[in-house]
Amino acid sequence: MLDALSAPAIPAVHRREDYRPPAWLVPEVALDLALDPAATRVRARLTVTRNSEASEPLRLDGEGLTPLSISVDGVAVNDWRMEGEQLVIPLAGAAHVIETEVEIAPERNTQLMGLYASGGNLCTQCEAEGFRRITFFPDRPDVLATYRVRMTADKARYPVLLANGDPVASGDNDDGTHWAEWHDPFPKPSYLFALVAGDLACNRGTFTTGSGREVELGIWVRASDLPKTDHALDALKLAMAWDERVYGREYDLDVFNIVAVDDFNFGAMENKGLNIFNSRYILADPDTATDYDYDAIAAVVAHEYFHNWSGNRVTCRDWFQLSLKEGFTVFRDQGFSADQGSAAVKRIEDVRGLRASQFPEDAGPLAHPVRPESYLEISNFYTSTIYNKGAELIRMMATILGPVKFRAGSDLYFDRFDGTAATCEDFVACMEEAGDVDLSRFRLWYSQAGTPRVSASLAHDGGRATLRLAQQVPPTPGQAHKQAMVLPLRIRLFGAETGQPLGPEQLILLDEANQSIVFEGVAERPVLSINRGFSAPVTIESDRTAADLAFLARNDDDPFARYEAMQQLMLDTLVAGAIEGDADHRAVIDAVGDTLDDPALDPAFIAEAVLLPSESFVGDQLSMVDPEAIFRAREALRGDLGRALTDRWRTLYEAHTTTAAYQYTPAAKASRRIRNVALGYIAASGAADAAELAFRQFERADNMTDRQGALATLVNSDSDLREAALDIFYNRYAGNPLVLDKWFQTQALSARADTPAVVAALAEHPDFTLANPNRARSLIGAFAVNQRAFNQADGAGYRFLADQLIALDKLNPQTAAKLLPPLGRWRRFDAARAALMRAELERIVGTAGLSKDLFEQASKSLE
Ligand code: 0A1
Ligand code: ZN
């Protein structure tokens, strides 16, 4: 029987409307940590000042902490109490000094929040609410303090001691320990606190800021990884220069350190002056990292660096404002990456990512606005909506204002809110003021969830073209009825006969449910190019024919629109194939052929344009997903493309095969990309020599892009070379966890029918562990997005995921919760699959001792 005491507590809901300013501020913090993996003593001295009229006590958040001693103004007190996990201290005056002491055990911290051990070193992760696992504190982002940190640790085991800000003093003790003191002069919220103690080597660099200050840069890794850090260091320097040039933002401390750790819940963390990274976003050399990895490293290094202004100098008032720093910072890192290579390809990749992760989120049970109204567990809100849709909102404002006014708005924002905790509203108000525009209706983007659908139809009569636009925002949980939003749509018309543009591009602000735009003097039949550059994160439904789309795929002058026309053409063909079991492939084959033949096109663009939409994206277009039918339709089209254009693929493949040594240049990357795409189509054609071709590439490769590209082709094949390549790969990289992740992931993404069984067996492999988030994601996360494999009709995929998540939740609830969403897609499937998915969600919700992270995701997914 369940008695009241052991009944699981229903977690408390946090609501945006409940925001109240903090009752106490903490202008200064001094921490003294005696670091030890089994028992770390943490002494904290907080200078607190009253921020409330009433005689409010001081409330300090804690998680898993027991106070060992508490003093107020130097005197030990015992009139404190615990209310749940909060330490409550009655205080009479307006300013006091509070001292507390606790003990924590980093080596037992499997959640990787707070102070934890990774690879023999000690490190921290405090965003969003990890600081309360280190010491008692008002752990909320609007309490900004300056930090003085003293660390003592065994010198042999932890020779390097790092914290936020600048180093001020260090020394040795007689007992084999040493100590270091760091001071961060910039007031910061507790989520930006960090320290690292470890045996680490450093790749050092320097950067001279625009105003002539020398900054010492350091990338800290285990000594054997030092040769893999140059790319990250180069990216950091580029990012620092870019932020000065493009946003006028200079770095503000004397040192900037980055530490790479193997066990990390997310990608990286922007702690002031001491970024801590998942090692996958730092370590790269040609033998172990793909071009995609290299690009991601530069993007994440830049992202975290950019947070120094968008996040740290100006932080968030509360966690409902998370997109204030994340949306803006993603927008900034996207701009940085676009400037490093092909802006068109970067935009295509970003939109593909948005469609793969954010659109499904916005269409499912976990949909939430960019500024959410409530949450149970804030870690669940580090979502694609907050990050990537948030970035699209900033991009739309930049489009509406134009570059000069947008920069003025950003300057005003940084100037006005420097050193404070701000809101999304503050940001929009700055844009409005600097841009001299009215963004009142635009603000709906922050409060309304769901991907707007725009239908567009173009009529031509005499010399006049009329474009009719209608928008509709689908209902999402808690939001049944929506208002029309402001959608900036870049539009251009092209003449169907001449292929020439009919007038310049226009920016239309669609802000009503229905709107018509008339174009005069249109002599020939116009073809509509709409949402160019993906100017608004919406779905377009148009009355354009396959011939119109093929025309745009050949003639549009906006590279994104050109890519998009091709994607739409492919998508329509795949949807028809999935529904009818058969489709006419000729239009796609011709359009792909012409794209391959167009000498004016950048090979990197071609490689993106000729790729088919993913199985899941096809599924997202259908009211009911039939995974087998989608798989068959896509394989059929891939096969036809492979066969019909076989000479082209082979010529391309040869043309981009080089004997020159590996280079990381845009041209060399484009060659590798298109060559691997060509290899995929050669294999899809069913050519007898495809597996040998892939295996030859696999064996000869002098870089991971080619090696993994070949392996990805081989894992889909029935050839014996598949096993051979997997074994060679495994043996070659045994002991390199980041590459073994690729080995797991590539198999989990295989198109072979036996993938579910292979994945189940891999979960028992000696190298598989749930304790490392990268490894868990590489197998479980990858499998769950392999639409056909995960959704096999007997429900084994669902059961596998639920089993893994229940096990993982005990170690690391955040990572478990992040992997749950694929089970919440049940509404999109047939009744049998839906019932199987729901049964697994119910099993998860019913599990004793479930974390609130996983509880929130699973229970919301059932609604
Ligand atoms: N602010 C980081 C993301 C981040 C969030 C939570 C973490 O803790 C588990 C770690 C990182 C960023 O945007 O990069
Ligand atoms: Zn971020």
Atom of ligand 1 nearest to the CA of 303: 14
Q: Say yes or no to pLDDT of 7 above 50.
A: no
Specify the residue with its C-alpha closest to ligand 1, atom 6.
127
Band the pLDDT of 4: cuts 50, 70, 90: very low
The dihedrals phi and psi of 739, each to the nearest 5 degrees, come to: -80, -35
Q: Say yes or no to pLDDT of 5 above 60.
A: no
321 Cα to the center of ligand 2, angstroms: 13
Tens of pLDDT, residues 96-129: 999 999 999 999 999 999 999 999 999 999 999 9
Specify the residue with its C-alpha closest to ligand 1, atom 13.
326
304 Cα to the center of ligand 1, angstroms: 9
Band the pLDDT of 53: cuts 50, 70, 90: confident
Structure tokens at 142: 């609007």
16 Cα to the center of ligand 1, angstroms: 21
Q: State which of 266, 280, 324, 383 you would mutate to test the pocket of ligand 1, scoring each by most atoms of that ligand within 8 A of its C-beta.
A: 266
The single-letter DSSP state of residue 453 is E
- What average pLDDT does this structure show over 658-685? 96
- What average pLDDT does this structure show over 743-772? 98
Specify the residue with its C-alpha closest to ligand 1, atom 8.
127
Specify the residue with its C-alpha closest to ligand 1, atom 10.
266
Band the pLDDT of 6: cuts 50, 70, 90: very low
CA 639 to CA 612: how far, in whole Å? 12
Q: Which ligand is nearest to the CA of 319?
A: 1
What is residue 80's three-state secondary structure? coil
Specify the residue with its C-alpha closest to ligand 1, atom 12.
269
For residue 274, give the nearest of 117, 163, 413 by alpha carbon: 163
The single-letter DSSP state of residue 619 is H
Q: Output b/e per residue, 267-283; b: 16+ Cβ within 10 A.
A: ebbbbbbbbbbbbbbbb
- What average pLDDT does this structure show over 300-314? 99
Percentage of residues of the chain with pLDDT beyond 90: 98
The dihedrals phi and psi of 320, each to the nearest 5 degrees, come to: -65, -20
CA 663 to CA 832: how far, in whole Å? 51
266 Cα to the center of ligand 1, angstroms: 6
CA 621 to mean position of chain CA atoms: 23
What's the pLDDT score for residue 386?
99
Q: Amino acid identity of 742?
A: K
Q: Say yes or no to pLDDT of 659 above 90.
A: no
What's the pLDDT score for residue 658?
86
Percentage of residues of the chain with pLDDT beyond 70: 99
191 Cα to the center of ligand 1, angstroms: 10
Atom of ligand 1 nearest to the CA of 311: 1
What is the DSSP pairing of strand 255-261 with strand 274-278? parallel
CA 308 to CA 292: how far, in whole Å? 25
Specify the residue with its C-alpha closest to ligand 1, atom 3.
269
Atom of ligand 1 nearest to the CA of 268: 14
pLDDT mean across residues, the chain: 97
What's the pLDDT score for residue 1?
42
Alpha helices in 749-795 (DSSP H): 755-762, 773-776, 782-784, 787-790
* Residues with catalytic roles: 304
What DSSP element (H or E) covers 468? strand 464-472
Task: Walk across the sheet containing 506-510 and list its strands.
Answer: 506-510, 487-495, 526-530
Band the pLDDT of 9: cuts 50, 70, 90: low
259 Cα to the center of ligand 1, angstroms: 14
Structure tokens at 320: 């409902």
- What average pLDDT does this structure show over 239-260? 99
What's the pLDDT score for residue 55?
82
Give residues (CB < 6 A) around ligand 1: 125, 127, 265-270, 303-304, 326, 382, 814
What is the DSSP pairing of strand 145-154 with strand 24-34? parallel
Decide: residue 212, CB within 10 A, 0-12 exposed, 13-18 middle, 19+ buried: exposed
Atom of ligand 1 nearest to the CA of 304: 14
Tens of pLDDT, residues 544-585: 999 999 999 999 999 999 999 999 999 999 999 999 999 999
Atom of ligand 1 nearest to the CA of 265: 9
CB atoms within 10 A of CB 625: 23
